[in-house]
Structure 1
Amino acid sequence: MSRIITSLSDVSAQYDALFVDLWGCVHNGVAALPDAVAALQAYRASGGKVVLVTNSPRPRAGVEKQLIAFGVPDDSWDTIATSGDSARSAMFRGVVGQDVWHIGYPGDERFFEPIGVVKDPIKVRAVPLEEATGIVCTGPYDPLADPSVMRPQFLVAKQRGLKLLCANPDIVVDRGEQREWCAGALAQLYTEMGGESLYFGKPHPPIYDLARRRLATLGADVPDNRILAIGDGVLTDIAGAMGEDIDSLFISGGLAAAETKTRTDPDPDALSLYLKKEMSNPTYTIGYLR
């Protein structure tokens, strides 16, 4: 059974580094969460390293700009690993070919900007579906529309044998009080229809490899048993940590606030039922990062 704690400081001394999810933990898609920021600042002041590990399809520089806009101070974190950077590296290595059909929000075109860490990158260009050798999905065109609206195009893509590169495995996020669909929902639909989807964010290994490399650039040689992963998604943050054999702290007041009956803290019985249903076993649980 996951141990319920009331403060990050209850367990933080056991860890030299944190892999921290952003959306639902540090900000709500609109503004920073002050208690979470204070907890990370205190952890860093004690000598710990904070790696923000996010399923954002944005490059790291884009996430930094977003954090500034949300009011997340730069003394609450050390470095950032994004699924966007992990997926971009794979894209420029040619995993879905050179001519790709892009599904994404307006402004996501920055995903196709050159990346300097790939040796001999291919030139990738966005083309109509009929000309594509693969698909790059950074998010739905309309985050409020049901993913099923993509069935007609996905049927064509599946019949042509196109692989879909998913830059954000999250299914949903909460932007303030509004729940929105993410790229992971489209990739899930495409897979269910018989297509092949490739994932590079949590819970899949490539983003954890990137997070460890980013941690190493800080001069920190941290073994996995001294890393704590923090997040509000049992299918992404917690499943990924379990797969990497890293301890985890589940934020029950995020995506699963209703299911876990979290106000300030989760209801123990509701939490137990939820985790059993999801077949998840986080090391610790807290209502909100604080």
Structure 2
Amino acid sequence: MKADATAIAGLHLIADRFDHVLLDQWGTLHEGLAVFPAALDCVARLREAGKRILILSNSGKRAGSNQRRLATLGLPPEAYDGVLSSGEVTWRGLHAREQAPFAELGPACFLISRDGDRSIVDGTGLTVASTVYEADFVLLGGLDDDTAEPERWRTLLTAAAARQLPMLCANPDLVMFGAAGLIPAPGALAAFYQSLGGTVLFVGKPYPPMFAAARDQLGHPPPERILVIGDSLDHDIAGGRAAGMLTLLIGSGAHRATLAQARDLPQAVKTAAGAAARMPHWTMDHLTW
């Protein structure tokens, strides 16, 4: 495995190493209530330093929805250069129907989404089926907190698996922040579906199409001049490293239970990573300039 991740106190210490930032939302910028003050300041300092900032999120909602939500949490659209969500990449794929896995999916989906959101299907020509028995595939865009526990879906997903319906998962995250702390995220429900014999097609971090779309949106800069900042070794760090980008892990997010009490943070990160492919270049506790 590569050398330990370097613990840094602020981004200004490595600002000369990158020109572009792919910045995670949940656990990095906010936890659903308000953008962390230090993170808000950091975004402003990055822009002052001439860096381009793209919010890269495993949200199953579309980019516009994420922008509006960030604005209500204290980060206005003019503070950064754009949002790319896995929901947006999914919508584009379902709309175009030109590339795998989207081209092979049928015309009717059973939609599972957060807050009843239908923007991921609006304008795609898809029919939203009322039951899995009328659907060609399951489209998993998000989960409400009170339905996040996979076991609640056993009966429905067992029926879907028996019909061999593929699931298109637009949010591969395994955990998310609920009112009572960390709860299962859509990626955990997708894994549950796999355990029932179902087939899952993933869109989002750490999968290559998400990072390729981000580079497209940034105008194809060299990957080694892009810094991926996030709180997940599985999604942000693994995806960024596979794309040849620089990576920084925020320790207070998804891995907080493992890292919060660590006396030696770099060593704790190395242990949690377990492999070079998940090892960040740098780490810090909270996003700070």
Instruction: Check whether TM > 0.5.
Output: yes
Equivalent pair of 2:161/2:198 in contact (CA under 8 Å)? yes
**Cα distance in 1 for residues equivalent to 2:79 and 2:179:** 21
* Secondary structure of the corresponding residue to residue 67 of structure 2: helix
1:196 aligns with 2:205: no
| Cα deviation 1:217-251 (Å, max 9, x = unaligned) | xxxx5201100100001111111112112110000
**Aligned counterpart, 1:173:** 176
- TM norm structure 2: 0.89
Displacement of 1:178 after TM fit?
Answer: 2.4
Which residues in structure 2 correspond to 1:114-153 (within 5 Å)?
114=123, 123-127=125-129, 128-143=131-146, 145-153=148-156
1:276 aligns with 2:278: no
Unaligned runs of 5+ in 2: 98-102
Query: CA distance change for structure 1 residues 85 and 261 in 2, over 3 Å: closer, same or farther?
Result: same
* Secondary structure of the corresponding residue to residue 54 of structure 2: strand
Displacement of 1:76 after TM fit?
Answer: 3.2
1:63 aligns with 2:69: no
**Aligned counterpart, 1:101:** 110
| Cα deviation 1:24-78 (Å, max 9, x = unaligned) | 1111111101111211211111111001100111111111110111011334311
* Secondary structure of the corresponding residue to residue 240 of structure 2: helix
**Cα distance in 2 for residues equivalent to 1:250 and 1:179:** 18
Aligned length: 278
**Aligned counterpart, 1:51:** 54
Displacement of 1:148 after TM fit?
Answer: 1.9
Query: What's the RMSD between the two structures over aligned residues?
Result: 2.1
Equivalent pair of 1:137/1:167 in contact (CA under 8 Å)? yes
Displacement of 1:193 after TM fit?
Answer: 2.1
Equivalent pair of 1:266/1:287 in contact (CA under 8 Å)? no
Equivalent pair of 1:96/1:165 in contact (CA under 8 Å)? no
1:233 aligns with 2:235: no
Equivalent pair of 2:6/2:266 in contact (CA under 8 Å)? no
**Cα distance in 2 for residues equivalent to 1:225 and 1:281:** 16
Deviating 4+ runs (over 4 angstroms): 141-145
* Secondary structure of the corresponding residue to residue 109 of structure 1: coil
More deviation, 142-151/231-240: 142-151
The structure 2 residue matched to 1:36, chosen from 35, 39, 48, is 39
**Cα distance in 2 for residues equivalent to 1:249 and 1:91:** 32
The structure 1 residue matched to 2:187, chosen from 184, 203, 206, is 184
Equivalent pair of 1:57/1:168 in contact (CA under 8 Å)? yes
**Cα distance in 1 for residues equivalent to 2:43 and 2:209:** 25
| Cα deviation 1:65-105 (Å, max 9, x = unaligned) | 10111011334311111100111122232443111111122
Displacement of 1:206 after TM fit?
Answer: 1.4
- TM norm structure 1: 0.89
**Cα distance in 2 for residues equivalent to 1:71 and 1:162:** 40
